[in-house]
Structure 1
Amino acid sequence: MVQPNFEDVVKAIATDTNTPTETVSKMYAETWAEYSDGARIMDYLTVLVTKRVRENLRGVSQDRH
């Protein structure tokens, strides 16, 4: 199952976190696969995955400073 706004979400995260789109796309796909594996309710998966990717990217950027 592919979310309808995958590209929009990836672009927004990339812009907000100043991270290349390719990096965000890969992280999002990996996180989506991890979260959706065995999930029965998919309604909030986009929100949860988006939140996790943002948190991970913020953690990475804070480690650099």
Structure 2
Amino acid sequence: MPQVDAEQIVHSIAEETNTPEETVARIYADALDNYRADARILDYLPLFAARKVRATLRQNSANPH
């Protein structure tokens, strides 16, 4: 599997969700760390983390405080 560029993923999610890259990067890093803690296979973790970040940001935008 090709190496995933976290910076590119963060930038893409930031553009899609109109969220600052710093915020996306922090959420992405946290999600990736959480998945790595229990993972035996690491190949798809960036994909899962990106999906989690998008879902989190969508949920937060749908439920403003």
Same fold by TM (over 0.5)? Answer: yes
1:6-17, aligned counterparts within 5 Å? 6-17=6-17
Is the CA contact (8 Å cut-off) linking 2:4 and 2:46 kept in structure 1?
no
Q: In the alignment, what sits opposite 2:34?
A: 34
What are structure 1's unaligned runs of at least 5 residues? none
Give % identity: 42
Q: Does residue 62 of the first structure (1) align with residue 62 of the second (2)? A: yes
1:46 corresponds to which letter in structure 2?
P
| Off by >2 Å, runs of 4+ in structure 1 | none
Distance across 2 between alignment mates of 1:38 and 1:58: 25
Superposed displacement of residue 43, structure 1? 1.1
Question: What TM-score, normalized to structure 2?
Answer: 0.89
What does the per-residue CA deviation read over 1:4-45, in whole Å, with 9 as the maximum and x for residues that have no partner? 401000000000001000000000001100000131101111
